[in-house]
Amino acid sequence: RTALPYPDGSFTLVTARFALYALGAPDAVLRELLRVRRPGGRLIMADLVRGNFAGTARDRIERLRDPDHPGIPTIARLTDMVTAAGGTIRRLDVFTVERPAEPWLADAPDPDAADRVREELLDEVDGGPRTGAKPRIIGGELWFTQTWAHVLC
């Protein structure tokens, strides 16, 4: 499932957006991306991460929305994976993205699960338990945050 149909060193530039964990075998995916990268070439990845000291509440919300979601790695886990796969990080940018919740919830495999996530996010807005998603209402719509990493290898 993770093997790419290209010979070693086929590309000077390899890109991956939310692929490491979406394909279910992040270490294997990363090794494969690095394999098809030409020596001296670049791999640019964008993926979800969580802070090294962040709890697992954010993972729980992702898994509630999609039970097949493999979880969100810490920044340290992501950098360790790159190193273990033989890559070298040339640049790492970590930033927070605030986005509307409804398009994200619309992608949930189960509408009932999306409703439960929406309820938990709204509960947090009203002072309830923290979800790790930092939800808020903007212009009458529910928004939440994700932490993304852009990695250049």
Does residue 47 lie in a domain region? yes
Return the pLDDT at 123: 97
Q: Give the domain CATH number at 77.
A: 3.40.50.150
Structural domain span for residue 95? 11-100+145-152
Residues of the chain with pLDDT under 50: none
Total number of domains in the chain = 1
Return the pLDDT at 56: 78
- What the block records as the tokens of 7 is 């010979």
**Rounded to an integer, what distance in angstroms lies between the CA atom of residue 100 and that of residue 102?**
6
Query: Do the strands 91-100 and 141-152 form a parallel or antiparallel pair, or are they unpaired?
Result: antiparallel
**Rounded to an integer, what distance in angstroms lies between the CA atom of residue 77 and that of residue 24?**
15
Return the pLDDT at 67: 85
- Cβ contacts of 81 within 8 Å, gap of 6 or more: 20, 26, 27, 30, 73
Does residue 111 lie in a domain region? no
3-state secondary structure 60-123: HHHHHHCCCCCCCCEHHHHHHHHHHCCCCCCEEEEEEEEEEHHHHHHCCCCHHHHHHHHHHHHH
Does residue 74 lie in a domain region? yes
Does residue 132 lie in a domain region? no
Does residue 66 lie in a domain region? yes
Return the pLDDT at 53: 66
pLDDT digit string, tens, across residues 38-76: 999 999 999 999 877 667 788 888 889 988 887 788 899
Does residue 56 lie in a domain region? yes
Does residue 121 lie in a domain region? no
Contacts within 8 Å (CB) and 24+ apart, 81-84: 81/20, 81/26, 81/27, 81/30, 82/30, 82/151, 82/153, 84/27
Return the pLDDT at 75: 92
Does residue 131 lie in a domain region? no
pTM of the model: 0.84
